[in-house]
């Protein structure tokens, strides 16, 4: 195998990368049900219905958790991952979501973006502190249980 290098370590690295690429292409899109289930049409259809119902229950639980306490988005993406074990559309949505999250994480780690975010946060805190100080200077602290009836 010619990798463009005469060093022996480069050949091993290139072979490992090629092997990893083959594994990803083999994994492709489609059902990940066991072969004995795929072999029988009725069993495979009932398997898909079961996966859809379980994934739907998890997604609905995640949607309920959005306004309530709980990890709503994590649970929703968990339900999408359950659907992605069986449905191509869910696999594509999950791949797109992973790509966008990775891109956002890379942008967030950019030093210029981090400096900008820290600067904006400090400016915001200074403004809130100044407003709170002005309010306390102007009106003072009045506890609710000491308010007189008017």
pLDDT digits (tens, 9 = 90+) for 77-131: 899 889 988 888 888 988 998 899 899 888 878 888 889 989 999 999 999 999 9
pLDDT in the model for residue 1: 42
Chain mean pLDDT for the chain: 79
| CA–CA gap between residue 43 and residue 87 (Å, rounded) | 16
- Close Cβ partners of 75 (under 8 Å, ≥ 6 residues apart): 58, 59, 61, 62, 65
Task: Put residue 140 in one of left, alpha, beta given phi > 0 → left and psi -120 to 50 → alpha.
Answer: left
Backbone angles phi, psi at 120, to 5 degrees: -65, -40
- Of the candidates 33, 27, 60, the one whose C-alpha atom is nearest the C-alpha of residue 45 is 33
pLDDT score for 133: 92
């Amino acid at each position: 195998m010619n990798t463009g290098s005469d060093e022996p370590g480069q050949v091993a690295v290139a072979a490992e990368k090629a092997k990893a690429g083959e594994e990803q292409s083999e994994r492709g899109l489609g059902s990940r049900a066991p072969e004995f289930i795929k072999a029988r049409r009725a069993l495979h259809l009932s398997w898909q219905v079961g996966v859809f119902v379980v994934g739907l229950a998890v997604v609905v639980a995640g949607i309920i958790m959005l306004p309530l306490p709980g990890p709503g988005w994590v649970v929703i993406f968990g339900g999408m991952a359950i659907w992605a074990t069986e449905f191509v559309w869910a696999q594509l949505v999950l791949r797109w979501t992973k790509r966008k999250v990775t891109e956002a994480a890379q942008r967030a780690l950019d030093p210029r973006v981090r400096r900008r975010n820290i600067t904006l946060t400090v400016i915001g805190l200074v403004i809130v502190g100044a407003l709170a100080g002005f309010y306390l200077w102007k009106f003072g602290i009045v506890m609710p249980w000491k308010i007189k009836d008017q």
